[in-house]
Amino acid sequence: MKPIQVGLLGMGVVGTGTFNVLQRNQEEIKRRAGRGIEITMVADLDMARAQSLVGAGVQVVNDARAVIANPDIDIVIELIGGYGIARTLVLEAIAAGKHVVTANKALLAVHGTEIFAAASAKGVMVAFEAAVAGGIPIIKALREGLTANSIQWIAGIINGTTNFILSEMRDKGLDFGVVLKQAQALGYAEADPTFDIEGVDAAHKATIMSAIAFGIPVQFDKAYVEGITKLGAADIKYAEQLGYRIKLLGITKRTPAGIELRVHPSLVPTKRLIANVEGAMNAVMVQADAVGTTLYYGKGAGAEPTASAVIADLVDITRLHTADPAQRVPHLAFQPNAMSDLHVLPMSEVVTSYYLRLRVADETGVLAKVTGILAEAGISIDAVLQREADEVGGEGSTQTDLIILTHDCVEAKMNAAIALMQAQPTVLEPITRIRKEELA
């Protein structure tokens, strides 16, 4: 049978990795897919560079629409990124009857409902393994491997840039700004790292996992998103002393009140495997009723790890494109007519536990006042750590850090308690609040 023909939009790092891995492993991939898979057309604005990467046998154009219009192309890989032209091209490819493979988490987290509906109406597949945690086959695991389960929660380190920064901050005792500059110099962080460090990239991925885990629509606009820019080396150090590491987690959880969908720095017990995922690596922990806890670990970015996921999608489509669309795995794991309308909880209704750091005047009664506010609010304290003033502010210092770990409480209650504590004249700086996840 003649190979299935693939058109590639965007010959960047992942596009190049995909082309190379497909070539290198073509024989094995063909034995698995039952048919050869060939990238026969590439669209990239830098045509000369793209042509030099793919060789003379592949047609290179600078117009993505020429790929979509080519009747010989069965599958379009979208590796352009972003919500703009990528959305238009993906919808046009679907309208032209092409199956689509994309690594574009932003696009799916924001426009997934529209894109999956268009694909279902046209009877084509949109595959997106590479959109979440790069080379880790987490979409496959959630959508197929865990299909027997009622999934209870997912917690993932799903942004390598921020995990690299947090690891460096902990290892070297450095503050965020210093490590960010180093990460940029080493190529671990983009020149504009906003999406990574503000938690947006992780929230895109958490949104997609949430939809697949619970059969709800993709709803990025409902996600709570907080990045790592306000973390200091001191918090990482104090957390360590209390037996925790700070990780940027993407969390989605089923609760009786609704679905939690949130990205924020979290204290995680050092004894959990996921707390020991360091550097730019990713890991996703899934709690499900039948299987219990499972953990998926690997590279979340990079040319060939991401290519691994893109090509897995190409193989799936090659195997399934002649099947009755009703027999294929649904885009979001659940049949489109069986989606749930469970609502996503606002952050104020989320229940979790907390790490609080208060810079306070080292005076009589300050600790009693603060703990009194928490007691009054019905918030139970789990642990308190107070450093010597000299250790915090240098010899003769009259200030100190008060670190409090709480038991679970609803976020709205904690917000109110923090406002009351902050209003105390003996609380000298904005209170640091970091959520804590036991992941038990």
Q: Enumerate the active-site residues.
A: 205
> What angle in degrees, to the nearest 10, is found between the helix axes of 13-24 and 303-320?
60
- Residue 313 found at the interface with ligand HSE (CB under 6 A): no
- Tell me the C-alpha distance between 342 and 217, whole Å: 9
The minimum distance between CB 142 and ligand HSE, in angstroms, equals 17
If the CB atoms of residues 160 and 199 are measured against ligand HSE, the closer one turns out to be 160
Size of the site for ligand HSE (CB under 6 A): 7
If the CB atoms of residues 208 and 345 are measured against ligand HSE, the closer one turns out to be 208
The residue with tokens 């949130």 is 262
The minimum distance between CB 201 and ligand HSE, in angstroms, equals 5
If the CB atoms of residues 164 and 238 are measured against ligand HSE, the closer one turns out to be 164
Q: What are the DSSP E strand ranges found in 82-159?
A: 99-102, 126-127, 151-157
Instruction: State how far the alpha carbon of 361 is from the alpha carbons of 76, 400, 401, 418, 432, in Å.
Output: 62, 6, 9, 17, 16
The minimum distance between CB 140 and ligand HSE, in angstroms, equals 18
The minimum distance between CB 190 and ligand HSE, in angstroms, equals 7
If the CB atoms of residues 3 and 81 are measured against ligand HSE, the closer one turns out to be 81
Whether residue 401 contacts residue 359, with contact meaning beta carbons closer than 8 Å, is answered with yes
Token pair belonging to 421: 């504590």
If the CB atoms of residues 176 and 238 are measured against ligand HSE, the closer one turns out to be 176
Whether residue 212 contacts residue 143, with contact meaning beta carbons closer than 8 Å, is answered with yes
Residues 177-196 that bind ligand HSE (CB under 6 A): 196
Q: Environment class of residue 211 by beta-carbon count within 10 Å: exposed (0-12), middle (13-18) or buried (19+)? A: buried
Residues 149-168 that bind ligand HSE (CB under 6 A): 159-161
The interface mask with ligand HSE, positions 291-310, x = CB under 6 A, is ---------xx---------
Q: Which of 130, 56, 129, 65 shows the shortest CA–CA distance to 98?
A: 65
Positions that interact with ligand HSE (CB under 6 A):
159-161, 196, 201, 300-301
